[in-house]
Amino acid sequence: MRVGYALLVISLAGLCGAAAIPAKQDEPKAVDMFRNITVMKEDKAKDIIPSMQFMCASLKVDCEFCHTGDRSSDEKKAKVTTREMIVMQREINAKNFNGRNQVTCATCHGGRVRPVNLPPVEGVEVRARRSPDVKPDAVLAAYGKAVGADPAHPIVAITYKGTSGAAKTPVETVYSGTKFVVTTKVGTGEMKQGFNGSSAWFTREKGIQHIPMQFAASFINQKQIFLGPDTLPKLTNLGGATAKVNGKDMLVVNGTLADASRASLYFDKETGLLSRVTMSYPTVLGNIAQINDYSDYKKVKGVMLPMTIANHSSEGNDLFHYRSVKIEEKIAPTAFDPPASK
**Dist. CA 307–CA 163, nearest whole Å:** 11
pLDDT at 201: 96
pLDDT value of residue 135: 97
pLDDT at 12 (0 to 100)? 41
**What is residue 206's predicted lDDT score, i.e. its pLDDT?**
82
CATH topology of domain 5-109: Photosynthetic Reaction Center, subunit C; domain 2 (1.10.468)
- Is the Cβ–Cβ distance between 174 and 180 less than 8 Å? yes
Element of type H or E holding 39 = none
Q: What is the pLDDT of residue 120?
A: 75
Domain ranges (residues) in the chain: 5-109, 129-328
Q: State the pLDDT at residue 1.
A: 41
- Residue 10: per-residue pLDDT: 32
Which CATH code fits 129-328?
2.50.20.10
Bridge partners, 203 (sequence order)? 208
Two domains, one topology: 5-109 and 129-328: no
In one-letter notation, the amino acid at residue 126 is: V
Residue 26 is predicted with a pLDDT of: 67
What span, in angstroms and rounded, lies between the C-alpha atoms of 278 and 255? 11
- In Å, the largest CA–CA distance within the chain is 91
DSSP per-residue codes, 65-122 = GT--SSTT---SHHHHHHHHHHHHHHHHHHHHSTT---S-HHHHHTT-SS---S---T
| Vertex 321: Cα angle to 187 and 141 (nearest 5) | 140
Q: What is the pLDDT, as a whole number, of residue 123?
A: 82
Q: Based on the number of CB atoms within 10 Å of its own CB, is 336 exposed (0-12), middle (13-18) or buried (19 or more)?
A: buried
Q: What is the pLDDT along the chain (342 residues), one digit of tens a residue?
A: 444 433 333 334 334 444 444 444 568 998 888 999 999 989 998 888 888 888 998 888 999 999 999 988 999 999 999 999 999 999 999 999 999 999 999 888 888 888 877 777 788 888 899 999 999 999 999 999 999 999 888 899 999 999 999 889 999 999 999 999 999 998 878 999 999 999 999 998 888 999 998 888 889 999 999 999 999 999 999 999 999 999 999 999 999 999 889 999 999 999 999 999 999 988 887 888 899 999 999 999 999 999 999 999 888 899 999 999 999 999 998 999 999 865
d(CA 164, CA 67): 50
